[in-house]
Amino acid sequence: MQSFRSEIENPLVEKDILELERKIRLFKEGRVDEERFRSLRLARGVYGQRQLGVQMVRIKIPYGKVTSEQLHRIADVSDEYSRGRLHITTRQDIQIHYVSLDRTPELWSQLEKDDITLREACGNAVRNITASETAGIDRNEPFDVTPYAHATFQFFLRNPICQEMGRKFKMSFSATDEDTAISFMHDLGFIAKTKNVGGTEIKGFKVLLAGGLGSQPRHADVMYEFLETDLLIPTIEGVLRVFDRYGERAKRAKARLKFLVKDLGLDGFLTLVEEEKRALAYQSFPIDTIEFEKDIVFETENVPAVTIEDEKAYETWKETNVLAQKQEGLFAVGIKVHLGDFYTDKARLLADLVKKYAANELRFTLRQNILIRHVREAFLPFFYTELKKLGFAEEGYNSIVDITACPGTDTCNLGISSSTGIAAELERVLKAEYPQYINNKEVTIKISGCMNACGQHNMAHIGFQGMSIKSGNLVAPALQILIGGGILGNGQGRFSDKLVKIPSKRGPEALRILLHDFESNSNETEDFLAYYDRQGKTYFYDLLKHLSDTKNLTEDDFIDWGHDKNYVKAIGVGECAGVVIDLVATLLFESEEKIENATEAIKDKLWSDSIYHSYAAIVNTAKALLTGEGAKTNTHASIINNFDEVFVSTGKVTLEGTFADFVYQINKNEPTEEFAKRYAAQAAAFYKQVDIYRKQAVES
Calculate the CA dihedral of residues 3, 8, 13, 15 and round it to 10 degrees.
40
Measure the CA angle with vertex 594, ends 651 and 22; round to 5°. Answer: 130
The alpha carbon of residue 520 and the mean position of all alpha carbons in its chain are separated, in whole angstroms, by 39
Per-residue CA distances from 144 to 149, 152, 413 (Å): 10, 14, 38
Integer Cα distance of 540 and 18 in angstroms: 56
Query: Using one digit for the tens of pLDDT, what is the confidence trace for 10-48?
Result: 888 888 898 889 888 888 888 777 777 877 888 888 888
Could you give phi then psi for residue 175, rounded to 5 degrees?
A: -75, -30
Q: Where are the alpha helices (DSSP H) in 522-606?
A: 528-535, 537-544, 584-603
Please compute Rg for the chain using Cα positions: 26
Closest CA to 39 of 214, 163, 156: 163
Closest CA to 369 of 405, 409, 328: 405
Mean pLDDT by 10 residues, the chain (700 residues): 60 88 85 77 83 88 98 97 95 95 93 95 94 98 98 96 92 98 98 95 98 92 98 98 94 92 97 96 96 94 94 95 97 96 97 97 97 98 97 94 85 79 94 91 92 89 92 87 96 96 95 96 93 96 95 89 78 44 67 93 96 96 90 93 94 93 96 97 95 76
Could you give phi then psi for residue 597, rounded to 5 degrees?
A: -65, -40
Buried-exposed string 133-166: b where 16+ CB fall within 10 A, e elsewhere:
bbbbbbeebbbbbbbbbbbbbebbbbbbbbbbbb
Closest CA to 581 of 213, 39, 133, 163: 39
Give me the residues paired with residue 66 across strands: 362
Closest CA to 675 of 603, 602, 596: 602
Strands 404-405 and 445-448: parallel
Per-residue CA distances from 638 to 246, 613, 635, 646, 663 (Å): 8, 19, 5, 12, 12
Closest CA to 43 of 223, 163, 185: 163
DSSP reduced 3-state for 505: helix
Could you give phi then psi for residue 642, rounded to 5 degrees?
A: -70, -30
Half-sphere exposure of 319 (CA within 13 A, CB side): 10
Confidence (pLDDT) at 567: 79
Beta-strand runs (E) in 536-590: none
Longest CA pairwise span in the chain (Å): 87
Give Cβ neighbours of residue 290 (< 8 Å, ≥ 6 apart).
none
Judge contact between 171 and 156, C-beta under 8 A. Answer: no
Q: Would you call 523 exposed, middle or buried from its count of C-beta atoms within 10 A (0-12, 13-18, 19+)? A: exposed
Beta-strand runs (E) in 472-597: 474-483, 486-489, 492-494, 497-503
List, in order of start, the domains of the chain with CATH numbers: 11-112 (3.90.480.20), 130-291 (3.30.413.10), 295-389 (3.90.480.20), 404-558 (3.30.413.10), 584-699 (1.20.120.330)
Judge contact between 280 and 155, C-beta under 8 A. Answer: no
Q: What string of DSSP letters covers 114-137?
A: TT-B-TTSSSSSB-PPEE-TTTTT
Q: Where are the alpha helices (DSSP H) in 342-472?
A: 344-357, 380-389, 419-433
